[in-house]
């Protein structure tokens, strides 16, 4: 339990941020899983469309500091390489 009024306000904000960030991370994981499933099924056109959505979501998550920018960059690089490898 928070001892001061400001600590209580910080705790409430922390809960709100946690819920918001968890939703964003869940969407990232869902898009990533969808991309890998489409790539495995050799549906390249659909996979490229999902890749675009995932890039956008990763950039937004990095911009709002839900994930580290280097983490977003690394994921984008690895997923692109994996998609190219599966397409070949």
Residue 12 within any structural domain of the chain: no
**CATH code at 40?**
1.20.58.110
List of residues 6+ apart from 73 with CB closer than 8 A: 62
Model confidence band, residue 2 (pLDDT cutoffs 50, 70, 90):
confident
pLDDT digits (tens, 9 = 90+) for 47-79: 999 999 999 999 999 999 999 999 999 999 999
Residue 75 within any structural domain of the chain: yes
> 58: domain range?
26-87
Burial (CB count <10 Å: 0-12, 13-18, 19+), residue 76: middle
Across the chain, mean pLDDT equals: 94
pLDDT recorded at residue 1: 82
pLDDT recorded at residue 86: 83
- Its pTM stands at 0.86
């Amino acid at each position: 339990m928070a001892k001061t009024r400001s600590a209580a306000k910080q705790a409430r904000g922390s809960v709100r941020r946690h819920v918001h960030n968890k939703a964003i991370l869940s969407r990232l994981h869902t898009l990533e899983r969808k991309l890998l499933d489409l790539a495995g099924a050799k549906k390249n056109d659909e996979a490229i469309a999902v890749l675009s959505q995932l890039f956008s979501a990763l950039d937004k998550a990095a911009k709002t500091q839900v994930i580290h920018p280097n983490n977003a960059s690394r994921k984008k690089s690895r997923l692109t390489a994996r998609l190219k490898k599966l397409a070949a």
